Amino acid sequence: MPTPYSSQTAQQQQRPGNLNQRNGLPDEDLCPDPRLATAAAAAAALKASSSTATTTPAIPSAAVGTASTGNGLTSFQRLVKQYRIEVAASASSVLSTLTTFPLDSVKTRMQTYRYAGFLDCVRHTYQREHLRGFFRGVTAPMASITLVRTVSFSIYQRAKLAYCEWVERNFGVDVLGHVSSQGSYPNFWSVATFGAAGATAGSCITVIACPFELTKLSAQVSVLMADKKNCPRPESHAIAASYQNKGTFQTLGNIIKHRGFGGLYTGFSLHLMRDTLGTATYFMTYESSKQLLTTFGGDGTHSNPLAVLVAGGLCGIVSWALIYPVDSAKSIYQRNSLMYSKGQKVEPVKIRFFQRNMYRGLGVSMGRSCAVNAIFFSSFEFLKKRIKAMEEP
């Protein structure tokens, strides 16, 4: 799921005590519209070029090379400055995904096959597949999560602004003004607006994430699928065994071979439901908990690493607790589908809330979510500050 981070537009900057300041982000940390930035840069460059051509004498070739190098470095710094939120988020996503992937692998195995518990799954995986078994399929999520988080940040921020403007225009409620007011608490409008923006982001990123997540799941359980005792039909064993010891792109090709291009979106409806509900809950919890932390802790709370950890960890726990049965049904259905060819009917998997077998691995997921958010936000804040320091002369 995407990790939110607030960055407001010019309209929000006009309000005193804006949400950006509440989150510990000064106004210069905003990421401007790249089209406006590009147009402005082009106009400035054209003007400078014309002025130089008419007033500046010829420059020796060696000096030209030096100036070109300096301008190239400045352009790079300007680009990093413009997209520092995305750069920090992408790098942090790679780091947090890589370090916590073994927990995700154990979670998927516990969802799709029966184990006595977490330690039994770890022991069984290590005995059969050694350390490599915990990192099977890591390439796909590293690529997809980085892309998904970057895209979801952008969609969420734009959707949040659009929904806040719609609420203010139709109901006269200034959601952002209320949230940024000192001593305020979450209310119906703030929770609903952030939830709607999160649901919009979640539903959009499913199109990108579904093929990658299916590939990751296939790699994680490929060894288990290849075991004859785990195959529901004798004829499905050959198909299941074909996924074993395949890389990310080989797995994608194998899925297309057996199930066609549409097979890359196996379980899409369940995935869409999970991401829509989960991302909505995630953003609602994150924004609301940060608002509460600000009210209880006073100004500057969000610059405290502990506050960042609590808000991020809490939103991960709450969202997983809500959508975990949906995620389990998705994983089981996708696992079953990988043992069938195109055109063969795969029995649907029902979502059963409060049924014990649908919550296998929930503790692992919650622990992983806390770890992911702790690493992600700590890394994100560190990288953002480093990039900011690089800008200064």
pLDDT higher than threshold 50 for residue 29: no
Per-residue pLDDT band for 73 (boundaries 50, 70, 90) equals: low
N- to C-terminal Cα separation, the chain? 37
For CA atoms 172, 176, 180, 183, the dihedral sign is positive
Q: Output the CA angle 274-215-269, nearest 5 degrees.
A: 30
What is the arithmetic mean of pLDDT over 66-78? 55
Pick 238 or 273 by higher pLDDT.
273
Q: Distance between CA 336 and CA 268 in Å, rounded?
A: 14
* Residue 352: C-alpha distances to residues 104, 258, 261, 320, 328 (Å): 22, 29, 30, 15, 10
Amino acid, single-letter form, for residue 253: G
Prediction pTM value: 0.69
pLDDT tens string 285-306: 988 987 888 788 765 444 556 6
Q: Which two tokens stand for residue 76?
A: 């790079």
Helical pair 84-112 and 362-391, crossing angle rounded to 10 deg: 170
158 against 4, higher pLDDT:
158
Provide the mean pLDDT of the chain.
Answer: 76
Count each helix (H run) and each strand (E run) in the chain, helices first: 14, 0
Which of the residue ranges 27-36, 132-141, 299-308 would you say has the lowest mean pLDDT? 27-36
Residue whose C-alpha is closest to residue 333's, from 280, 263, 278, 282:
263
Q: Give, in order, the Cα–Cα distances in Å from 231 to each of 75, 129, 273.
A: 57, 19, 28
Angle at 353 between CA 348 and CA 355, to 5 degrees: 90
Residue 334 and residue 266 in contact, taking contact as beta carbons nearer than 8 Å:
yes
Does 60 have pLDDT greater than 80?
no
Give the pLDDT of residue 304: 57
In this predicted model, what pLDDT tens digit does every residue of 162-211 receive, in sequence order?
999 999 999 999 999 998 888 889 999 999 999 999 999 999 999 988 99
Specify the amino acid at residue 1: M
Helices 188-225 and 84-112 cross at an angle (nearest 10°) of 50
- Bigger pLDDT: 251 vs 392: 251
373 token code pair: 């958010």
Share of the chain above pLDDT 90, in %: 22
Determine the pLDDT at residue 217: 87
Residue 351: alpha-carbon gap to chain centroid: 24
With cut-offs at 50, 70 and 90, classify the pLDDT of residue 152: confident
- Across the range 250-254, mean pLDDT stands at 85
Per-residue pLDDT at 138 exceeds 60: yes
CA neighbor of 364 nearest in space, from 328, 311, 340: 328
**Do residues 377 and 312 lie in contact, with contact meaning Cβ atoms separated by under 8 Å?**
yes
- As a whole number of angstroms, the distance between CA 383 and CA 386 comes to 5
Confidence (pLDDT) at 228? 65
E runs forming strands in the chain: none
Which CATH number is 65-391's, of 3.40.50.300, 3.30.70.260, 1.50.40.10, 1.20.140.10?
Answer: 1.50.40.10
Q: In the chain, where are the structural domains located?
A: 65-391
- Residue 111 predicted with pLDDT over 60: yes
Output the six-digit token pair for 352. 């059963």
With a cut of 70, say whether residue 246 has pLDDT above it: yes
Cβ atoms < 10 Å from Cβ of 260: 12
| Angle in degrees, CA 121, 127, 129, rounded to 5 | 90
Place of tokens 């291009």: 261
Cβ neighbours around 191 below 10 Å, total: 17
